[in-house]
Structure 1
Amino acid sequence: MPQPDVYLEPITGRYVRFTSQDVTYRVYFEEAGSGPVILGLHTAGADSRQFRHMLADEDLTSRFRVVVFDLPWHGKSLPPAGWWKDEYLLTTDVYASLVEDFCAALELETPIVVGCSMAGSLAIELARRSPDRWRAVLGLSGAMKVEGRFHDWPVRTDLNAQQIVPTWTHSLMSPHSPEESRREVWWIYSQGGPGIYRGDTYFYAQDFDLRETASTIDTARCPVYLLTGEYDHACTPEDTEQAIAAIPGARGGRMPGIGHFPMAENYPLFRTFLTPVLDEIISKATTV
């Protein structure tokens, strides 16, 4: 007899092997739904579990195919062969190439990129670097330049990074977001590999800088939307508003009542901001 409380979520998980910049990766991804593709990109030191609410949103997946993946070194994606020979420091070119080559491997045609935190900034770079590859980009907590997130303390041997990193990032969330969801974000962050959060923030706070080139982004070719929660103090709403002002035609602003991890810390609230953006993107695409 089937159990009355059993629910099998319509989410498929698989691995794909591909090469990016002469390095071969085995990457884990999940997907659900059908229609235009939404590509979800997770935050620094975390993994694609942050998008589980989007994957399980039947209203969303009835309209879109949602695809999310774990970057190498993250979640279920192991590091590439010989990973121990070099320090892990994510760079802009490696990161952007990984996303582009993952999409090529899965033959994802002009996805809508939804990236958060470091991926929110990368979304802007993707629009600048390869605008015709994307239907649009939506950067959450994205800016032209973020300061102060790269530190050596996550790799100190006298500190427990699996407790300190998630606790540090926990402060970026809204106190009004549901406690269960905030603790889930903490839990995911507690499971990162040694030095991986630090290596990701090297991209976010050291290598990445679009202040000189943001004005060259062509939003007629790739629409750019930027949204940041009002409680975010890593990438502040003011940081995002500066990016919107610098990118001709960019849209967005601050999200009241939410923090740095909108799709994970309070999905029902985030959905009220996400849906109008997606509706506008699809509307623009059908009128071109």
Structure 2
Amino acid sequence: MRRFYNDQFEDVDPEPQKPDVRFDAVTGHYVYLTIDGIEYRVYYEESGQGIPFLLQHTAGTDSREYRFLMNDPDFTKDFRFIAYDLPYHGKSLPPFNYPWWNHEYRLELDFILKFMDAFIEALNLDRPAYMGCSMGGHLAPDLAYYRPEKFRAAVGIGAGLSTSQEAVSSEMIDSLGFAHVNPQVSILYEGAANESIVAPYPYTTPNSRREVGWVYSAGGPGVFGGDLYYYYFDHNLTGKAQDIDTSKCMLYLLTGTYDPGTPPQTSQALADQVKGSKLIFMEGVGHYSMLEAYSTFKKYFVDVANEIKTLK
């Protein structure tokens, strides 16, 4: 036995080589927020320095979607990016001192607005910029309409006046509910379903497509479906969007030409209602531009970022 071990390890270097280590630019924090009498332990990540810039994830996911942007020195030299996980998402666990399991999770506009108020106040942010995608994209014009005094600019990736409820059949809602009740279905269904709405090859890569699926597969039961309540029903600026004042909160719209969730004409209808807003169509991009094709997204976002630097 001793001979075996000697033969196996006699050439092993007693001083192992140091691994090739590098650190990410992003740091994580927790903040406690009380909303409607319930305390939430909210996780957020940040990187960079300069103008505060809030980043909102899509339905059922978390702040990981912005990891490429938050590690890009071309932007972090001028912006303090802050990507948060809404309660029930990512590392923001459900509230500990509240029987959340007795209630159906459903995201509503009123809660999001109160969350934004509390988060901005807690971090003592002075008129930050905002960007969100999909569900978060819809929130951009909502913030410009309901909270213009708190934001210098709002960027909506895949934003519209509303989402057509005709696209949501009873069969789809039933299937979403089943997917959230059955964890085996949920993991497979949500990842694959959301991979299907990124841009086709060669505009995206297998790596990026799979990462979209992975992030969507990690959500809590019922959270994706609950977020869709806001996306499909509670966000509706029809008859209101024309009152958005872009001199108070500038509104930018970035929409992918391959986005089936928010086709270009949907964002165009919103832009037509908001005087002074800027609409940019991103060629060869699907629903999750900042994650599925970051290099393409960056080419369009850079002009928006440069303009935001001039706003107060």
TM-score by length of 2: 0.88
Instruction: Give the total of aligned pairs.
Output: 285
Counterpart selection for 1:153 from 157, 160, 175: 175
Partner amino acid, structure 1, of 2:36: Q
Cα shift readout 1:94-126 (whole Å, capped 9, x = no counterpart): 112212211111111111101100111011101
Counterpart selection for 1:269 from 284, 287, 296: 296
Cα deviation, residue 21, structure 1: 2.6
Q: Quote the residue 1:128 is aligned against.
A: 145
Partner amino acid, structure 2, of 1:153: S
Q: Quote the residue 2:128 is aligned against.
A: 111
8 A Cα contact 1:152 1:198, kept in partner: no
* Correspondence 1:209 to 2:226: no
8 A Cα contact 1:237 1:253, kept in partner: no
* Correspondence 1:48 to 2:63: yes
3-state SS of 2:279 partner: strand
Q: Say which one has the larger Rg.
A: 2
Using the TM superposition, name which of 36-45 and 15-24 deviates more: 15-24
Give the Cα separation in 2 of the matches to 1:51 and 1:284. 23
Partner amino acid, structure 2, of 1:250: S
The alignment-based identity, stated in percent, is: 39
* Correspondence 1:258 to 2:280: no
Q: Quote the residue 1:8 is aligned against.
A: 23
Give the Cα separation in 2 of the matches to 1:252 and 1:214. 14
8 A Cα contact 2:138 2:159, kept in partner: yes
8 A Cα contact 1:241 1:253, kept in partner: no
Cα shift readout 1:78-100 (whole Å, capped 9, x = no counterpart): 11222112111111111122122
Partner amino acid, structure 1, of 2:215: I
Q: Quote the residue 1:200 is aligned against.
A: 227
Q: Quote the residue 1:89 is aligned against.
A: 106
Counterpart selection for 1:34 from 49, 56, 60: 49
Cα deviation, residue 4, structure 1: 6.0
Counterpart selection for 2:187 from 154, 157, 162: 162
Give the Cα separation in 1 of the matches to 2:215 and 2:230. 20
Give the Cα separation in 2 of the matches to 1:177 and 1:155. 30
Give the Cα separation in 1 of the matches to 2:125 and 2:109. 21
Using the TM superposition, name which of 10-19 and 155-164 deviates more: 155-164
Q: Quote the residue 2:11 is aligned against.
A: none
Give the Cα separation in 2 of the matches to 1:130 and 1:33. 25
* Correspondence 1:232 to 2:259: yes
Cα deviation, residue 63, structure 1: 1.2
Give the Cα separation in 1 of the matches to 2:284 and 2:20. 32
**Unpaired runs of 5+ in structure 1?**
none
Cα distance change, pair 118–2 in 1 and its aligned pair in 2 (3 A): farther
Q: Quote the residue 2:308 is aligned against.
A: 281
3-state SS of 1:73 partner: coil
Using the TM superposition, name which of 200-209 and 145-154 deviates more: 145-154
Q: Quote the residue 2:8 is aligned against.
A: none
Cα deviation, residue 48, structure 1: 0.4
Cα shift readout 1:189-233 (whole Å, capped 9, x = no counterpart): 001111110000010001211111101101111100011111111
3-state SS of 1:283 partner: coil
CA RMSD, 1 decimal: 1.5
Cα deviation, residue 2, structure 1: 7.7
* Correspondence 1:65 to 2:118: no
8 A Cα contact 1:155 1:194, kept in partner: no
Cα deviation, residue 184, structure 1: 0.4
Cα shift readout 1:230-280 (whole Å, capped 9, x = no counterpart): 111111111001000011111113110111111111111101111100111
